[in-house]
């Protein structure tokens, strides 16, 4: 359900390595008051909407019959290594271009999750 961006991954590693071993540091995606207790798996969980990296995105949404194969293929076509774990949807974003793939039957949580990737990039681990 995500495509790791090198810059975001590097930022996460910096936070992990500078954290104190005796005082647990909140994961980077939970480190603001508006983001506190955010659980990206919970569709009712609130997140910090000020973390958007852009406020306009050119989004395509393609429902497909074989989601897993499509996402793996799209990942490799874009120069990535594929996902290798079961997906409910996937999205790929570069700048303000964002392409979402879902099953033919989707739900609000899945679509909202992928749209959040369009605006906040790699917002979850
Ligand atoms: Zn995701």
Q: What spacing in Å lies between the alpha carbon of 42 and ligand 1's midpoint?
A: 12
Summarised one tens digit per residue, pLDDT across range 36-52 is: 899 999 999 999 999 99
- Domain assignment present for residue 25? The answer is yes
| Residue 54: partners with Cβ closer than 8 Å, 6 or more residues away | 95, 96, 119
In this prediction, the residues of the chain whose per-residue pLDDT falls under 70 are: 1-30
What pLDDT, on the 0 to 100 scale, is given for residue 25? 65
**Beta strand 89-94 pairing with 58-64:** unpaired
Q: What spacing in Å lies between the alpha carbon of 63 and ligand 1's midpoint?
A: 17
- Domain assignment present for residue 125? The answer is no
Q: What spacing in Å lies between the alpha carbon of 1 and ligand 1's midpoint?
A: 4
- Domain assignment present for residue 1? The answer is no
What pLDDT, on the 0 to 100 scale, is given for residue 52? 95
- Domain assignment present for residue 19? The answer is yes
Cross-sheet strand order for the sheet of 58-64: 58-64, 97-103, 89-94
What pLDDT, on the 0 to 100 scale, is given for residue 103? 98
The tally of domains found in the chain comes to 1
Containing structural domain, residue 59: 6-120
- Domain assignment present for residue 13? The answer is yes
Give this prediction's pTM.
0.77
């Amino acid at each position: 359900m995500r495509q790791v961006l090198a810059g975001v991954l590097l930022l996460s590693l910096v936070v992990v390595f500078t954290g104190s071993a005796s005082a647990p540091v909140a994961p980077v995606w939970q480190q603001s008051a508006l983001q506190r207790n955010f659980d990206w798996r919970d569709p009712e969980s609130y997140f910090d909407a000020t973390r958007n990296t852009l406020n306009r995105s050119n989004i395509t949404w393609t429902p497909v019959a074989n989601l897993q194969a499509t996402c793996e293929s799209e990942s490799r076509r874009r120069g990535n290594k594929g996902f290798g774990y079961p997906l409910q949807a996937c999205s790929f974003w570069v700048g303000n271009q964002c392409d979402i793939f879902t099953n033919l039957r989707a739900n609000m949580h899945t679509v909202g999750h992928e749209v959040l990737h369009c605006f906040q990039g790699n917002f979850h681990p």
